[in-house]
Amino acid sequence: MAFAVFFLWHADTALAASSWDFTENWDSGYTDNQVIPATGSPWSSSSTYGSMNGAGAHADTYNRKSGSYSAHLGYWTYGSFSYYDFYLKRTFSTATAGAGTLKFWYYLAYSTLYVQHSSDGSTWTNITIKSSRQYVFGAWATVTIPANTKYIRFKANTDPYYFDGAWIDDISFTVPEVWVNEITGFDPDNPNGGILELTADAGGLTGYEPTSVEWQYKKTGDTDWTDLPTDTDGSDGWTVSIDTRSFSDIAFKVRARALSGSKVSKWCEVTINVQNLIFDGFTLPAEPMGGVIDIAASATPPTLSVVYPPNPWTFNGGVTYYYSYTDCVDATEGIPIGGTATKFTSEFSRVY
């Protein structure tokens, strides 16, 4: 007796891999101390240290997370004692359509570390991992790389000594099936007011086009997000209206996420500065009135007593070879509207 077995695979249950997704742990195609050349593809490297013949990274075995090798941003032997920039770059064949997630393991030996991204290879945006030269004995980092990225680059500043530098291993990059790249419809640099018509730039991979976009907002001091109407028709854009006239606030947050079947994007979040004027009334001419009459209307900004942002303090900590330190940093931004405000500054403590 013969049996026929059929497997039914629903497309929505499969993990759709974009053409930009990749993983790298340097164990395929690399040998110990093999230089990653300046003209390599998709990986290339460079540096400001002239003795490396234009390269800035190589594979070695000193500090790695898995396998035999990791990529070392630094020199492979003894060099002059000064500080230089070392780069490791990944080039995509086309710019990313949506924001992606970059995850990697790193080890620092008296080095800084930044992730950079660019759409043209000339103008770079920094994402800071460690801004001061220090020791990190293995850690994971995850960063978001925005849409329209053609190049991703790791940057380390260290001295050209073969035990120093930055080691990068177990890299993964994924662009999700569906995304929201940005929210527009407001002035990001000045106060907004009245009714705002916001639009989400939502998209998806082929077969995962968005079917709806959810919206939420949160005022300063709120614990929970408040739902706004979900847009289920993107033919005129993925939009929402929000009336700011009832907000006794100087800034609030709005976020949006796209859905396609069971796939849900990450939230895209923005902060919107707001200031609605209070109508004082009309000024009429003295009676009697006749002919052309001039009528004036006046409005004044509200008087608010707020703390902005509600929790401006952040913690920076680190460890070097010689001592550990703890910095308490005041990250308060300038107030988003004109007025009188008190800004508190901080001291820092260093523990040896």
Greater model confidence, 228 or 11: 228
CA distance 311 to 313: 6
**What class has domain 18-174?**
mainly beta
Residue 316 pairs in a beta bridge with 327
Q: What's the pLDDT at 251?
A: 87
The ranges assigned to domains in the chain are 18-174, 178-273
The residue assigned the tokens 């059929």 is 6
Q: Across 49-53, 157-161, 248-252, 303-307, which has the greatest mean pLDDT?
A: 157-161
Q: Which whole number is the average pLDDT over 163-191?
A: 95
CATH, domain range 178-273: 2.60.40.10
User: b or e along 114-153 (b: 16 or more beta carbons within 10 Å of the residue's beta carbon)?
Assistant: bbbbbbeeeeeeebebbeebbbbeeeebeeebebebbbbb
CA distance 237 to 231: 9
Tell me the whole-structure pTM to 2 decimals: 0.73
Q: What's the pLDDT at 336?
A: 54
CA distance 183 to 189: 14
Contact yes or no for 140/104 (Cβ under 8 A): yes
CA distance 128 to 34: 27
Greater model confidence, 12 or 83: 83
Greater model confidence, 344 or 78: 78
Q: Which whole number is the average pLDDT over 320-333?
A: 46
Q: What's the pLDDT at 218?
A: 95
- 3-state DSSP assignment of residue 51: helix
* Predicted confidence (pLDDT) at residue 301 exceeds the cutoff of 80: no
Contact yes or no for 178/265 (Cβ under 8 A): yes
Q: What's the pLDDT at 285?
A: 73
CA distance 26 to 317: 30
